Structure 1
Amino acid sequence: MQSRSESRQLQKQQRARRMKRLFAINLILLLIIGALAVVYAVQRQDGSGKPNTAADQGTAANDAASETEQANTDEKESASADHSSGNQAAEESGTDSSAGNQGSNEQAEEGHPSDDPASGGKAEEEPPAKDGEQGQDSSEGGTAAGTASKVRLAFTGDVLLAASVEKLMLSNGYDYPYEKVLNYLKAPDFMAVNLETPVTLRGTPAKNKQYVYKSSPDALPALKEAGIDIVNLANNHTLDQGEEGLFDTIAHLDEAGIPNMGAGRDEIEAFKPVLLEKGGISVAYVGLTRVVPVASWKAGKTHPGLAETYDSTRAVAAIKQAAKQADIVVVMVHWGIEREDWPNNDQKRLAHEYIDAGADLVIGSHPHVLQGFESYKGKWIAYSLGNFIFSGMKPDKTKDTGVLDAACDVKGDCSLKFHPMRASMSQPAPLAGEEGKALLKRLSSISMHAAVDKAGNVQPKE
């Protein structure tokens, strides 16, 4: 039989062993938590960490802390049991269906002569999801401070929702034109297009004009749902249904939640930029046109109409003002000669004036074909992005199209990538393989001080 002193000695040894085990368990778990914290810090530093990865690491750390607490509880309960038999233990803590088109617009299927009186399948890669849908890569978006390092902008060419395009939508659904390119339209922070039609159920068709368009407001929800965030109205079809059609267009777009620029009730509204912001980076969009069928379409001090740029004075003033309001200035301009691969002298002159005034990106439309890129003073010009969703036209190169991505930082420095596509029956689709490479090669050959590689990256070139 053990003496009382021997029993106390044995109990002390047992408590000592428990304390050693407790210390060892806590030390190991603390080391695990520390290691996870180091991994997370390294990933945040090199830009490879993603928000969901950080969340997983936080969960693992919480689990480890929970295990520590459970181990401490177990030890406490064991010590408490000893204490109840006369032993003392130390406690440790440890987210119209059919509005019909009126007039002669159906003829646009086989051609679209210039209205400018002055100018005579499958993608190889999947673009990232738009922020808020599947997270955002830290290399393109959020930093530790919650401010984006870059904002992702994207652009396409002309979008028509009338004539034969409307017939196809009425037969196949209003989402028909976008079905094969949704990933490219939804991926950017802001997706912008040139809307080549008034949106109205009323209006008086323009006289002495070969192609007169009219689109139902029923088409707008699908346009927005497809990922289109902003539209330019400064073009030669916005007043096809007169001032009444213009006012309806703006009202229907506002109701659909699609910001628009380039037209208004007076010149102040027409030249006013749309201001958008993402992750602490602000972007101003200015809409302009140098294709105005008749002078009465030009916006004036007390006259509704379009923001025109035959004389660049008001355009330059609007760009300078926008540069004071936003980190990045985008100019979307309707200009040039239809079906011509190369920009004319007016396009080149105006583009340079816009950049000198403060524009960071100049995005052109109207020629119905792709024209090249130009690098000018560290900024980018896309002279024409061609047709995107449009009635059938000749020649075949009017079917060549694409989505232009621009990743821009707060200083307005942008990197460009063009995703080649081809439209069939007014439905653009990614152009992969040799056909895609051939289109990129042709686009590179008509660019100035710029080159497009096989992956679609647009690089400056001396």
Structure 2
Amino acid sequence: MDKNKVLLFLGDVVPYKPFKFQNDLKTVINLECPIIKDGFPEEGKINLKVKENFLGDIFGNKLFCVNIGNNHILDYGLEGLSSTINELEGLKTQHFGLSRSNEGKYNPLILKLGDMRIAFISAVCSSTSPLLEVDDTFRISELDTDALIQKITQIRPLTERIVVYIHWGREESSYPEPQDIITARRLIDNGVDIVIGSHAHAPQPVEGYNKGIIAYNLGNFIMPALRNAPAYFSGNGEAQSTYNKNTMPWNRISWGVAIDMHTLDYKVIKYVFLFNRVIRLPFTPFDRYLNMNSSPLNETYDYQVNRHLRRRALYRRIRDFIYRPHVPEKLKRIL
């Protein structure tokens, strides 16, 4: 691949630590949180943020553009959003996934890579419980496949490539939801070249489909564990509880997809976030979730997914107990 024609698509990024990611390709990421020192949290949810902007430390000058269309970018309202945009502008990095409330949905960001025009569009699935609008000023676009295809039809003559980022999927699952598979393939059939998924916090399959590329979820590229994090704020900004979530092995693994934007040849790269840095790893036979091994049309697909999630939930409970031993309330009452 000619690296001047290649974009590297990476997973969810919460840039909470400074380190250097060794990479010589232009990069696209999903920024999973606002960048703001203080700010007033939106109520009734788990709010993410970082206080300092370490994107420059991590990616240097390799950030091509950033998706901010997700379920956490509005966690600190207009103040958090404005601060984030200012930080990205300070890095001379363009973003997509946001539009003014009086504008249409799915406003594309069109950039040039060499002599090729590439349109980036973002949508957020309602299943991720996103905040869609802030102060009647800015909004992110909720996924509506028919409306999105109409927008694709409009911009197809204006650009050589169309990339659609979708924030979707079941958290912790390395299996795409059946509807996500149907939607992604339908988008490719209607003129999209690349579909990139985020949100699941676990890597999911990457497939070539009908001359296009679908990465259903790339996983967490950089994501901290949450320990006693204030959560579910009230209207006056007081936390009603705390939230704990340790990072499990599948939360640390992510895929990077390096794509030649001229030929659509692609290569999948395996990364692990460990010891506050990103390490590139070889693939092994255990990376069975890289390929689409079972069809959602198969009657056993739901059974496989549910068994997979039950195992991961059990593994998480065992690990949580090892690190934070406690006696469940039901057992306390019995004793």
Category of TM-score, reference length = shorter chain = 0.7 to 0.9
Deviation at 1:317, TM superposition (A): 2.8
The answer to whether 1:421 aligns with 2:271 is yes
Compare the two structures and name the one with the higher strand fraction: 2
8 Å CA contact retained: 2:222, 2:273: yes
In structure 2, how many angstroms separate the alpha carbons of the residues matched to 1:353 and 1:443?
A: 21
8 Å CA contact retained: 2:47, 2:75: yes
Match of 1:398 among 241, 251, 271: 251
SS in 1 for 2:265: strand
In structure 1, how many angstroms separate the alpha carbons of the residues matched to 2:178 and 2:288?
A: 24
In structure 2, how many angstroms separate the alpha carbons of the residues matched to 1:323 and 1:299?
A: 30
Match of 2:242 in 1: none
1:259-317 Cα shifts (integer Å, max 9, x gaps): 111123326376222222122111111111114766752489x64221210x2243223
8 Å CA contact retained: 1:406, 1:414: yes
Deviation at 1:224, TM superposition (A): 4.6
In structure 1, how many angstroms separate the alpha carbons of the residues matched to 2:100 and 2:275?
A: 35
8 Å CA contact retained: 1:151, 1:279: yes
In structure 2, how many angstroms separate the alpha carbons of the residues matched to 1:396 and 1:344?
A: 21
In structure 1, how many angstroms separate the alpha carbons of the residues matched to 2:184 and 2:134?
A: 21
After TM superposition, the structure 1 = structure 2 runs for residues 63-462 of structure 1, keeping only pairs within 5 Å, are: 140=2, 151-161=5-15, 166=16, 169=17, 174=18, 176=19, 179=20, 181-183=21-23, 187-188=24-25, 190-209=26-45, 211-225=46-60, 227-266=62-101, 268=103, 271-291=106-126, 297-298=132-133, 303-309=137-143, 311-392=144-225, 393-409=246-262, 413-432=263-282, 436-444=283-291, 446=293
SS in 2 for 1:287: strand
Deviation at 1:346, TM superposition (A): 2.4
8 Å CA contact retained: 2:207, 2:291: no
In structure 2, how many angstroms separate the alpha carbons of the residues matched to 1:269 and 1:223?
A: 34
Structure 1 317/426 Cα, relative in aligned 2: closer, same or farther at 3 Å? farther
What amino acid is aligned across from residue 398 of structure 1 in structure 2?
N
Deviation at 1:384, TM superposition (A): 0.6
SS in 1 for 2:284: helix
8 Å CA contact retained: 1:270, 1:299: no
Deviation at 1:195, TM superposition (A): 0.3
In structure 1, how many angstroms separate the alpha carbons of the residues matched to 2:2 and 2:67?
A: 26
SS in 2 for 1:336: coil
Structure 1 269/245 Cα, relative in aligned 2: closer, same or farther at 3 Å? farther
In structure 2, how many angstroms separate the alpha carbons of the residues matched to 1:255 and 1:196?
A: 18
In structure 2, how many angstroms separate the alpha carbons of the residues matched to 1:222 and 1:206?
A: 28
Stretches of structure 2 that go unaligned for 5 or more consecutive residues are: 226-245, 297-335
| % identity of equivalent residues | 26
Deviation at 1:322, TM superposition (A): 3.2
In structure 2, how many angstroms separate the alpha carbons of the residues matched to 1:295 and 1:361?
A: 23
Structure 1 408/295 Cα, relative in aligned 2: closer, same or farther at 3 Å? closer
8 Å CA contact retained: 1:286, 1:319: no
8 Å CA contact retained: 1:420, 1:440: no
What amino acid is aligned across from residue 373 of structure 1 in structure 2?
V
In structure 1, how many angstroms separate the alpha carbons of the residues matched to 2:50 and 2:102?
A: 25
In structure 2, how many angstroms separate the alpha carbons of the residues matched to 1:447 and 1:258?
A: 39
Structure 1 317/222 Cα, relative in aligned 2: closer, same or farther at 3 Å? farther
Relative contact order, higher structure (CA 8 A, sep 6+): 2
Structure 1 323/439 Cα, relative in aligned 2: closer, same or farther at 3 Å? farther
8 Å CA contact retained: 2:124, 2:130: no
Structure 1 298/261 Cα, relative in aligned 2: closer, same or farther at 3 Å? same
Compare the two structures and name the one with the higher helix fraction: 1
SS in 2 for 1:374: strand
In structure 2, how many angstroms separate the alpha carbons of the residues matched to 1:380 and 1:400?
A: 20
Structure showing greater Rg: 1
What amino acid is aligned across from residue 382 of structure 1 in structure 2?
A
Structure 1 273/381 Cα, relative in aligned 2: closer, same or farther at 3 Å? same
SS in 1 for 2:53: helix
Structure 1 194/439 Cα, relative in aligned 2: closer, same or farther at 3 Å? farther
What amino acid is aligned across from residue 425 of structure 1 in structure 2?
F
Structure 1 344/290 Cα, relative in aligned 2: closer, same or farther at 3 Å? same
Structure 1 330/448 Cα, relative in aligned 2: closer, same or farther at 3 Å? farther
CA RMSD of aligned residues (A): 2.7
What amino acid is aligned across from residue 306 of structure 1 in structure 2?
I
1:114-135 Cα shifts (integer Å, max 9, x gaps): xxxxxxxxxxxxxxxxxxxxxx
8 Å CA contact retained: 2:197, 2:218: yes
SS in 2 for 1:414: coil
TM-score normalised to structure 2 length: 0.74
Deviation at 1:440, TM superposition (A): 4.6
Structure 1 247/400 Cα, relative in aligned 2: closer, same or farther at 3 Å? same
Q: Is the deviation greater in 359-368 or in 372-381?
A: 372-381
SS in 2 for 1:200: coil
